[in-house]
Amino acid sequence: RQELYRELRDRPAVTKDNVAIDLNMNAGLLVDLPQLEDSGAAGIGLFRTELQFMVAAAFPRAEAQEALYYDVMAAAGEKPVTFRTLDIGGDKVLPYFKAGFVEENPALGWRAIRLTLDRPALFRTQVRALLKASRGRVLRMMLPMVTQLSEIAEARELIDKEVRHLSRFGHDLPKQLKLGAMVEVPALLWQMDELMKAVDFVSVGSNDLFQFVMAVDRSNTQISNRFDTLAIPFLRVLKQIADAGHRNNTPVTLCGELAGRPISAMVLLGLGYRSISMSPASIGPVKAMMKDLPLGDFSKSLEVLLSSGDVGRDVRQHVMDFAETHGIT
Ligand code: PEP
Ligand code: MG
């Protein structure tokens, strides 16, 4: 298989019926970067900036943040990189940063964009580091755990302030700034069109979205094994997001673990996703699946399942049967 993956690496990422798919990789540290070349990823769809904070003994200084972001972009060359702003709190704790209060439900608590908007100095330092590191380039930033559109507006205001500040002091700025939001909180599902208009792109964080849609703690295997990520209700949610993106001409991607498993990646393509981001080791297997996938036919069969009214249908089995019939391995 490794040989097949290596051979596929330099071939375009297209399905059997020639639909092009953007296959990106997730990363978070400098050691991940060689994978960009080795995996043949189109870019970095999710750069988890909190990892630098998690492996440090104290808050990384502004210079260290800027240096990392610069190195990441230098290594990526022409390939796009999407930096997620700090996603700390919840399951991602920093030993040197105590909230000063106890949270009974950290997953629903003071985390990600909620925390950074409450600590604007932290957010602005990171944004400034990103802006300085990406002089002359396109800077793609995305906000984690957005719940309401006002958070995007608030973040944008802080970003604009940094842009003004830097340009006043004669710094080179990115040639373009793109701001995206992660779809991880179900409340966004009822403001999809407004969300799509408020940002330049959207990325589905299916790990958290599944946790919140199904009310299933993502780290509790006692219950999580009970629920299938390919359950029809959840697939309807994912389809709703892809459709809203198409309707509003806003690029939509998905960067949760679902993207990296060939069977679920197949489903994502069937639902209309044309860009996904996964761990680098998954790119080969997903590309291998794609080369044998007649996406048009598969989408139609999935559409029938999703609208059949039998919401308990075993989609996973259906997809595996389809894969077997079509020689997809
Ligand atoms: C997600 O929630 O799907 C995601 C990509 O973010 P993380 O796994 O870092 O929470
Ligand atoms: Mg998440």
For 68-118, the pLDDT digits (tens) are 999 999 999 999 999 999 999 988 889 999 888 889 999 999 999 999 999
Burial (CB < 10 A; 0-12, 13-18, 19+), residue 97, is middle
Q: Angle formed by the axes of helices 315-325 and 262-271, to 10°?
A: 100
Query: Which phi and psi (to 5°) does residue 8 adopt?
Result: -70, -25
- Report how far residue 37's alpha carbon sits from residue 132's, in angstroms, rounded to the nearest whole number: 25
Which residue among 84, 115, 207 is best mutated to probe the pocket of ligand 1, counting the most ligand atoms within 8 A of its Cβ?
A: 207
Q: How far is the CA of 3 from the centre of ligand 2 (A)?
A: 33
| Ligand 1, atom nearest to 50 Cα | 9
Structure tokens at 78: 């022409």
Q: Please tell me whether the overall predicted TM-score, pTM, comes out greater than 0.80 for this model.
A: yes
Give me the pLDDT at residue 290, please. 98
> Measuring from each residue's beta carbon to the nearest atom of ligand 1, which residues come in under 6 Å?
46, 48, 87, 184, 205-208, 255-256
pLDDT value for 28: 97
In ligand 1, the atom with minimum distance to the C-alpha of 204 is 3
Q: Hey, whose CA ends up nearest to atom 3 of ligand 1?
A: 205
For residue 46, the ligand 1 atom closest to its alpha carbon is 5
**Atom in ligand 1 nearest the alpha carbon of residue 48:** 9
Ligand 1 centre to CA of 30 (Å) is 19
CA of 165 to the centre of ligand 2 (A): 31
Give the pair of three-digit tokens for residue 228. 């299938």
pLDDT digits (tens, 9 = 90+) for 189-209: 999 999 999 999 999 999 999
pLDDT tens, per residue, the chain with 329 residues = 889 999 999 999 999 999 999 999 999 999 999 999 999 999 999 999 999 999 999 999 999 999 999 999 999 999 999 999 999 998 888 999 988 888 999 999 999 999 999 999 999 999 999 999 999 999 999 999 999 999 999 999 999 999 999 999 999 999 999 999 999 999 999 999 999 999 999 999 999 999 999 999 988 989 988 999 999 999 999 999 999 999 999 999 999 999 999 999 999 999 999 999 999 999 999 999 999 999 999 999 999 999 999 999 999 999 999 999 999 98
207 Cα to the center of ligand 1, angstroms: 5
Question: Which runs of consecutive H residues, i.e. helices, occur in the chain?
Answer: 2-9, 34-39, 50-54, 62-76, 112-118, 120-133, 149-168, 192-198, 206-214, 221-224, 232-248, 262-271, 283-291, 295-306, 315-325
Torsions phi, psi of 194, nearest 5?
Answer: -65, -40
ipTM comes to: 0.99
The atom number, within ligand 1, closest to the CA of 184 reads 2
Residue nearest to atom 4 of ligand 1 (CA): 205
Q: Measured in angstroms, how far is the CA atom of residue 195 from the centroid of ligand 1?
A: 19
Q: What is the pLDDT of residue 91?
A: 80
User: Which chain residues have CB less than 5 Å from ligand 2, an ion?
Assistant: 205, 208
